[in-house]
Structure formats: structure tokens, C-alpha cells
Amino acid sequence: MDKSRFTRVPVPFPAARKAGPVLAAVVLATGALTSAGPAARAAAPRGPVPPPGCSAPQRITERLAGGTTWNMCWHYDSSAGLVLDRVGYRPKGEPRPLQVLTSAKLAQVHVPYDDGKAEFDDLTGFGFGYGLQELKPAECPGGTIRSVKVPDSGYVKGLCTTTRSRGHAYRMASDDGTRVWQEEGRDLLVYTVNKVSWYEYITEWRFSSDGTISANIGATGSLSPVDYDAGDGRGWPIGKGAEDYATSHSHNVFWRLNFGLDGGARDRVEQYDSVVTPPNGNGSPTTKTTRTPVTKELAGDAKSMRWWRVVSATGRNADGHPRSYEIVPGPSAKHPGRPFTQHDVYFTQNRACEQFASNNTLDCGPNAPTSVDKWVNGEDLRNPVVWVNIGFHHIARDEDQQPMPVHWQGFRLAPRDVTAMNPLTPADLATENGAPSSGS
């Protein structure tokens, strides 16, 4: 096969700031995890640290319909692109803002091709951050486009902050049919677009009026015009007849989340699993749910009726329940080809130099591992970082040209007991906490 067809057209970025090499083609056995020794992890962490405060241009504040106000800072990284810092919100009725995340960002876009001839780490190996695109007003309806300083490059009008409707936030009819309570939900939308070769990635964060946070990346742009080879035996025919085959590939997207619920640094992680027992005779099936504290670093796999939450070490809602956020992964085609892509979530002890899920280019010390799977080595989780991996296997289709429709990958963070009631509860239902006195 002609390997030249995989030559990407890179986005220029300063040679002095170029990231490390593309991942070496060494495939470990499926399921194997290589642990770093204590000496490797003991190296003094070196890496980006969120700024202690942010000026007005780096601050985002939005009060949404329903009374919820979101606050956060942002900065821009030459590899990760958009980084959000100190993300929190103040629901209606709460006496103070509630911090959720210390920082949140993309942590890698790993793109292996099906035929094994090419593999890319788009964040740290292909200049993702330097490909920030200028946005036109029509791309940010009703919002504000902010200027972003791209390191070593200059300013780009590339950050959109706006609001959008998301349909029903809730609906409830009274039992006697005389009343309907309903409200349309509203989201704060924060996004950038980064161009890597022919692909364009939309990095999108949504902050909902009910406290939900949604992280998504949308791939659009164009199929690579040099990725067509009818003799490759893989991919999908694009165009007339069966002459041009677009080579199939995967997009394995990672996010890095450093929680900080209620401003603390010692959140805890819990895993929940439910087991259903078939009915006995004429009875009904039963379900038992168990809680497992995650006290050590973990590489976790999603399965039916399994979920995780991050729990505040100090904060409780008005009912006395610990505040937490549940991790809700979206649809994923998990890629088994690399150890770091074989799990859906990773929980690691926070280290400033461990910033990218693969091809980590920061200095963690001599012989330190460079991928998230190797950072899971049994350490106590005293200040956990959450890594979410969502995969998409892109088998091209005729409709992918031209331009290519956006395909989305992502997950949600759902508030669980952050407030004692729905933060959008209407005033005349505010006393209905616990068993409702009169039903719905």
C-alpha cells in the first residue's frame, strides 16, 4: 500500500513548541496494564497549574432562565486547546455558589486507522491547539465571540459563549387535571473549533439550568482526499461505483476532569452495580444495588447497570446528603488496540505532569510512563482525577461528503444530591420535599 496517502496536511505551529512524536507502534497484550514503579511516580510533578484567579476576559458568568447562574474561568493551552477552570454554579435558593470542577479539558484525540498503516495523537502529536479557527457571528447566534491568545501565534476570535434551549426541563400535570407545571430548559454553551489536517473538531461544553454538565466533541470538515485506495480491502466505497474507498478509522477521545466539589481536593469515588434476579414462579424480578468505594487507582469498564459518582468530602445539601456528581458516559465503540483505549474511565491520583491520556509530553521524571493506563498502579486516591474515554469507529459513507456532517462523542456529569430539590422547582411546589402530600 502507498503509505503516502496517509500524509496529513498539518496546521503550522512553531517548531519550538512542537509536541512529541506520534505513539510508537508497540501493542501490548489486551488487558495488560504496565505499572510504573514508586520511583517513577515520586518525581516532582511538572506541568500546567490553573491560575489562582482570572481577569474579566477569562471569566464566564451566565444567569440562565430559572435562576441558575454558572461561573467559570478559562484559558487556552497549545496542546489541549480550551481549558475550563473553577467551574461552579449557584442554583436558585442556594446561599452561595457551589464549585464542581477545578479544571476540565480534552486529554487526547487518538486516531488509529483500521489497516494499521497510520496512527495519530491529534492533541500532543499534531498541533491541535495551534489550529484554533476564527468563528463568524453566524456560528455564535445570540452570543459573544471572545479573542483567544494562541501561544506563540497570536489572537484568534475563536471562543463562543451563548445560550440555547434544550426542550423540556420538566413537566408534571396535577392528578385532577387542573394544572400543568412545565419549564423549558436552557443551557450555557461554550465552544471552540480546532482544525487538524482535514478534520475540524468542535469542543463543546454545555452547562444546564438543572446543574448538568455535558462535554462533547464533534468531528466535521472533510474526509481526507488522500485516504482513498480501492486496493486496501477495507473501508467503504465513496463516490460512483467502487473505485474510491475511504479508509475506516477510530476517534478515541479522552477528557481529563479534576473535580473539586465544594472547593475541596479530597473528593471520593464510588462505584455502583445492580444485579437483577429473575422471578421465582409467579413473582417479579428483584434488583439489588451495591456500593463499592474506590479507594485505589482504577481502570473501570462500563457495563449494564453500573455507574460511578464523585462525592464531596465536606459538602452536604439541605437534606444532609453528601453532594456528588454522577458520570454518565455516552455511546462508545471502545477500541481494544492499545492498553490506554481498553477502558471507559480511569481514576488516578492527581499529578500536575499527567495531563494527556496518551503521548503525554509533559516531564514526569526519568523513565516515567506516558499514558493513562500505566498511571493506574494501586496508589491511594486522595485527590482523584477522572479520565473519560469515548470511542467512535468511523466507517465513512456517501453522506460524509462534502462537507462532512458532525458526528458527536461525549458524556454528561449529572448532579446527584447537590441540591435538596430540583433547582428549577416552581415556588408553589417548594414544600413538596420528600413524600408529596397530595401526589402530582
Helix (H) or strand (E) holding 319: none
Q: Is the dihedral of CA 33, 36, 41, 47 positive or negative?
A: negative
Q: Which amino acid is at 331?
A: P
Question: What digits encode the pLDDT tens for the residues 263-280?
Answer: 988 999 999 999 999 998
Residue 208: the pLDDT is 97
Coil, strand or helix at 130: helix
Euclidean distance between CA atoms 41 and 288, whole angstroms: 39
How many Å separate Cα 210 from the centre of its chain?
19
Euclidean distance between CA atoms 219 and 407, whole angstroms: 5
Taking a C-beta distance cutoff of 8 angstroms, is the pair 214, 101 a contact? no
Secondary structure, 3-state, 44-59:
CCCCCCCCCCCCHHHE
Q: Which amino acid is at 440?
A: S
pTM of this prediction exceeds 0.75 = yes
Could you tell me which residues come within 8 angstroms of residue 95 by beta carbon, excluding any fewer than 6 positions away? none
Write out the three cell numbers for 425.
Answer: 422547582
Helix (H) or strand (E) holding 125: none
Residue position matching grid coordinates 476517534: 251
255, burial (CB in 10 Å: exposed 0-12, middle 13-18, buried 19+): buried
pLDDT tens for the 440 residues of the chain, in order: 333 334 455 444 443 323 333 333 222 222 332 233 333 333 333 344 444 578 999 999 999 999 999 999 999 999 999 999 999 999 998 999 999 999 999 999 999 998 888 899 999 999 999 999 999 999 999 999 999 999 888 999 999 999 999 999 999 998 888 899 999 999 999 999 999 999 999 999 999 999 999 999 999 999 877 777 655 667 788 888 877 788 889 999 999 999 999 998 899 999 999 999 999 889 999 999 999 999 999 999 999 999 999 999 999 999 999 999 999 999 999 999 999 999 999 999 999 999 999 999 999 999 999 999 999 999 999 999 999 999 999 998 999 988 999 999 999 999 999 999 999 999 989 888 887 765 55
Question: What digits encode the pLDDT tens for the residues 387-433?
Answer: 999 999 999 899 998 899 999 999 999 999 999 999 999 998 988 88
Considering only CA atoms, give the Rg of the chain. 23
Taking a C-beta distance cutoff of 8 angstroms, is the pair 103, 383 a contact? no
Longest dimension (CA), the chain: 72
Q: Beta strands of 47-143 (E only): which ranges?
A: 59-63, 69-77, 81-90, 98-112, 119-121
